Amino acid sequence: MFYQLKKIFRNHNRSKNRDIDPDEIFLDSQNLPEFDTAQFEGRIEKPIPRSAFTTLLFFIFFVGGVFIFKLWGLQIISGEQFRTRSDNNNLRHTIIFADRGLILDRNAVPLVWNTINPESNDFSLRVYATSTGLSTILGYVKYPTKDSKGIYYQDQDSFNAKDGIEKIYNAELLGKNGTKITETDVKGNVISESVIELPEDGKNLTLSIDIKLQKKLSMALLDIADRAGYKGGASIVMDIHTGEILASSNFPEYDSQIMNYGTDNKKINSWISDKNHPFLNRLISGLYTPGSIMKLFVALGVLDQGVISPTKQILSTGSISVPNPFFPDKPSVFLDWKAHGYVDLRHAIAVSSNVYFYTVGGGHRAQKGIGIGNIEKYAQMFGFGEITGVDFFGEKKGTIPSPEWKKQNFNGEIWRIGDTYNTAIGQYGFQVSLIQVVRAVSAIANEGTLLTPTFTKVGKKAEEKGSRVKISGIVPLDKNFYTIVKEGMRLGVTDGTSGALNFPFVEVASKTGTAQIGTSKNLVNSWVVGFWPYKDPKYAYAVVMERGSKNNQFGAVLVMKELFEWMNVYVPEYLK
């Protein structure tokens, strides 16, 4: 035993002085057939290859490089983008809605104003005056709406004007919205707000309407319509020197406030389905057969053409007849509404004699007429068949019958003398709007100036310096011709069909008209037009009542009767 230990130490000392052979350290498993490779304890490992260290280092450097590259991309290349996106998670641009401008009457009485919205601080609510007859004029707006995230739609970030003055003058009334930045926490709670652009409220708009006059005119229209069973109607009063519309009513009509809220679906649907069309602006878009009011303009054409002296009388026995080439024993008969006896031009206007205007319009026997070409010419001279340019949308041109018009609309039929007769008294295919009529009557009153009607206050007369009055045309007829026609209109009040307007407190000039409608001729439209004061005209008016009974004793003239009597008590300044 001692000998063996001594041998081991001897060998150990010898080994200090020589190199160690790897075979002496690591046993070759191939030389140990009985070595248990599955046994961990006591196992002698093989050396790790140098390539393993190289692979590991490459992997570490590769992963690190990728990480550094991505970090560089996030911080340097896209850092600003992600920083903005992060900020936007907490900061939001919010609209500050501008208040719409007020709409005022000519005396600064508010017709449309703003009030606090009890459900939202974002914008104010619109309030509309409740006076009858204003809705068609004022129109209404719809409010901005949000999406499911509470953000206002891009195309609905302002009030949506839908009709009337609100729509026509939306650019002035709208104003300019402001912007604020709202900071919120992760729960959506507002931390702070900063205004970056203040809103600019819309401009106030002063209309030409006098709310007192407007209200009474509308009430009178509704009263006569109710008493006489008319299905609709419209009326207007206009300054003959400026074109300002002082009052205008429309029946039936919708309610601006209900349309503004948009919550009363039952009421709104009833208006949509109403056969009397409450959404129709009868002043601008309604077209009517004018009837006898067209005799005023035919009379001016007759005087200008010189086909008859204004003092020459024509006998009205209640009708005239012309030979019928197809049935010689059955002449064509054209009726007057009554037998008037002998009438000259002034009295023919006053009593509205059909026979007189048949004769001077189309000619009869020895008396020459001006013919359909001239009837069309003078109607056009006074603005019929064209838009007036009023500051409103949806204006209709109407129709002036002519031989060409008949060919186009009646399968090429030729024009006959009876067509001229009927056109001369405002029947047949004549279609006019109320705004055209009041402008044309104003041109008679002011002796030849066609004004552009307006719902806004313009102030000064056309001839005054700095005036904003728009003149759309001049009708250059002899002033004496205008005088003769105006005398006939005044005679209509003192001795003719407008006798209801014969007052002791104001002199009115007027012309009535009745237009038969429908195939049965049992329904009529009732008209009255005119101006006042007679000797120094300031205002013109026109009223039409729709689809009343032909036997009705209540015509449009009674609407103006109520208005004049009211003005005499409450606003006598309008009668001077």
Average of pLDDT values for 231-235?
Answer: 94
Catalogue the long-range contacts made by 487-491 (C-beta closer than 8 Å, 24 or more residues apart): 487/346, 488/296, 488/299, 488/345, 488/346, 488/347, 488/348, 488/349, 488/350, 489/296, 489/349, 489/350, 489/444, 489/530, 489/531, 490/534, 491/346, 491/347, 491/349, 491/350
Residue 441 CA to residue 446 CA, distance in Å, equals: 9
* pLDDT reported for residue 478: 97
Q: Rounded CA gap, 20 and 11, in Å?
A: 13
Spatial separation of the C-alpha atoms in residues 281 and 457, rounded to whole Å = 21
Question: Which helix (H) or strand (E) covers residue 339, if one does?
Answer: none
In eight-state DSSP terms, residue 158 is S
Instruction: Using alpha carbons, select from 91, 89, 94 the residue that is nearest to residue 150.
Output: 94
511 vs 192: which has the higher pLDDT: 511
Q: Please provide residue 200's backbone torsions phi and psi, each rounded to the nearest 5 degrees.
A: -115, 115
Residue with tokens 């992963």: 63
Q: Is residue 155's pLDDT more than 80? A: no
Q: Which whole number is the average pLDDT over 410-436?
A: 95
Would the pLDDT of 153 be above 70?
Answer: no
Residue 158: which pLDDT band, with cuts at 50, 70 and 90? low
CATH code assigned at 377: 3.40.710.10
Element (H, E) at 299: helix 295-305
Q: For residues 143 and 276, state if they share a domain.
A: no
**38-52, 66-80, 290-304, 431-445: lowest mean pLDDT where?**
38-52
137 with 198, same domain: the answer is yes
pLDDT at 29 (0 to 100): 47
Mean pLDDT of 245-257: 94
Residues 165-194, mean pLDDT to the nearest whole number: 81
Sign of torsion over alpha carbons 223, 224, 228, 231: negative
Mean pLDDT of the chain: 86
pLDDT, position 119: 75
Q: Is 236 helix (H, G, I), strand (E, B) or coil?
A: strand
Percentage of the chain surpassing pLDDT 90? Answer: 62
Q: Looking at residue 156, what is its pLDDT?
A: 47
Same-domain pairing of 442 and 539? yes
Residue 511 belongs to some domain of the structure: yes
Same domain, 359 and 263: yes
User: Are residue 184 and residue 259 in the same domain, yes or no?
Assistant: no
Rounded to an integer, what distance in angstroms lies between the CA atom of residue 291 and that of residue 426? 4
pLDDT of residue 295: 98
What is the model's pTM?
0.81
Q: Which two tokens stand for residue 96?
A: 């500050």
**551 & 441 share domain:** yes
Domain-located, residue 413: yes
Q: Tell me the backbone φ, ψ of residue 556, rounded to 5 degrees.
A: -60, -25
Q: Whole-angstrom Cα distance, residue 244 to residue 206?
A: 12
The Cα 257–Cα 135 span in angstroms is: 8
pLDDT at 258: 92
Tell me: pLDDT of 2 over 50: no
Asked whether residue 18 is assigned to any structural domain, the reply reads: no
Q: Cα–Cα distance between 358 and 339 in angstroms, integer? A: 14
Give residue-wise pLDDT tens across range 96-110: 888 899 999 999 999
Considering the domain architecture, whether residues 189 and 240 belong to the same structural domain is answered as: no
**Domain identity same for 116 and 226:** no
Whether 191 and 237 map to the same domain: the answer is no
3-state secondary structure 65-107: HHHHHHHHHHHHHCHHHHHHHHHHCCEEEEEECCCCCCEECCC
Q: For residue 5, what pLDDT band results from cuts at 50, 70 and 90?
A: very low
Domain membership of residue 471 as a residue range: 211-575
Examine the domain organization and report whether 258 and 191 are in the same domain. no
Instruction: Classify residue 203 by its DSSP letter.
Output: P
Tell me what the mean pLDDT of segment 131-144 comes to.
87
Residue 9 counted as domain residue: no
Q: Taking residues 67-77, report their average pLDDT.
A: 67
Check the CA dihedral 147-153-159-162 and report its sign.
Answer: negative
- Pairing outcome for strands 103-104 and 110-115: antiparallel
Q: What is the CATH number of the domain that holds 179?
A: 3.90.1310.10
What type of residue is 358?
Answer: Y
Residue 267: in which H helix or E strand, if any? helix 265-273
Say if 154 falls within a structural domain.
Answer: no
Of 206, 240, 275, the last residue of a domain is 206
Of the candidate ranges 57-61, 337-341, 508-512, the one whose mean pLDDT is the lowest: 57-61
Report the pLDDT value the prediction gives residue 131, as an integer from 0 to 100.
76
What the block records as the tokens of 258 is 């209900």
Distance CA(267)–CA(135), nearest Å, equals 15
Max CA distance (Å), the chain: 176
- Is the same domain home to 223 and 181? no
* Residue 268 shares a structural domain with residue 201: no
Does any domain span residue 73? no
User: Can you give the pLDDT at residue 520?
Assistant: 66
The pLDDT tens digits for 262-271 are 889 999 999 9
Residue 501 CA to chain centroid, in angstroms? 35
Q: In this structure, is residue 1 part of a structural domain? A: no
Q: Is the pLDDT of residue 410 over 60?
A: yes
Assigned domain for 156 exists: no
Is the Cα dihedral 480, 485, 489, 491 positive or negative?
positive
Q: Give the pLDDT score at 11.
A: 55
Among the ranges given (55-64, 73-82, 386-395, 467-476), the one the predictor scored with the smallest mean pLDDT: 73-82
Compute φ and ψ for 560, nearest 5 degrees: -70, -30
The predicted pLDDT at position 419 comes to 96
Nearest to 448 by CA among 462, 464, 459: 462
What lies within 8 Å, CB to CB, of 124 at 6+ separation is: 97, 99, 100, 114, 115, 116, 117
Domain count for the chain: 2
Q: How many residues make up the chain in this entry?
A: 576
